A and B are shown apart, each in its own frame.
Chain A
Amino acid sequence: NAGVTQTPKFRVLKTGQSMTLLCAQDMNHEYMYWYRQDPGMGLRLIHYSVGEGTTAKGEVPDGYNVSRLKKQNFLLGLESAAPSQTSVYFCASSLYGGEYQPQHFGDGTRLSIL
């Protein structure tokens, strides 16, 4: 049982390049989330999804897009990468809306934008 798997684990991009981060979960969870973690700050929510085919904006959505075509996958896209998007990106999932459900996190994607 892999839990939440993120690919790639590391990536270096040049400003203006695009890329997609993949998150896959095998726990049949309905809810999935994308966060970014920056030094000295708490995790910040970028986008989330409450089920297959749905997405919603979080606290810091600008510059990112997401898609949830399959229940088990949640993709995060950067259309035109900027140095301010250098961060560690975490995907998480939970069984339901999260009020009393723990979030299960992947091990992160470390992204550097030069």
Chain B
Amino acid sequence: KNQVEQSPQSLIILEGKNCTLQCNYTVSPFSNLRWYKQDTGRGPVSLTIMTFSENTKSNRRYTATLDADTKQSSLHITASQLSDSASYICVVSAGFNKFYFGSGTKLNVKP
């Protein structure tokens, strides 16, 4: 069964600290993996898209890693800011219009 599991479900960190969010998937075939940020009351916004051959991809303070062999991805946030408080959603594409969404990790950055 094609599934995307994210952990932890929720996380609280202090402003300025780093954190890492995990995504494990069983989707096959694999086309690409995406990370989205969803602010409360808003739609998801794309952070990164990684293909099979990409191990690491960065977008400002966000760094995504992908291990296609173990079917795991992580999103590392460096020097967190209050504006990083949001849900982070991992999405795996199995090809043409086939997207499998994780249920997200809710991050709360406290001052």
Contacts and interface: CB of A to CB of B under 8 A. Distances in A.
A65 to B, nearest CB: 18
A24 interface: no
Contacts of A44: 101
B96 A42 contact: no
A108 B43 contact: yes
A86 B43 CA distance: 17
A54 to B, nearest CB: 12
A31 to B, nearest CB: 7
B96 A105 contact: no
Given A105-B43, A107-B42, A42 B51 contact: no
Contacts of B95: 99
A4 B46 CA distance: 14
B99 interface: yes
B41 A42 contact: no
A102 B96 contact: no
B43 A107 contact: yes
A97 B97 contact: yes
Query: Chain A interface secondary structure, helix, strand, loop or mixed?
Result: loop
A34 interface: no
A112 interface: no
Nearest to B31: A99
A92 B89 CA distance: 15
Contacts of A106: 43
A74 interface: no
A102 B96 CA distance: 13
A42 B89 contact: yes
A12 interface: no
Interface in A48-65: 48, 50, 56
Interface of A: 4, 31, 33, 40-45, 48, 50, 56, 90, 92, 97-100, 102-108
Please give me the 5 A-B residue pairs with the lowest Cβ-Cβ distance, nearest first: A42-B101, A105-B43, A102-B46, A43-B101, A107-B43
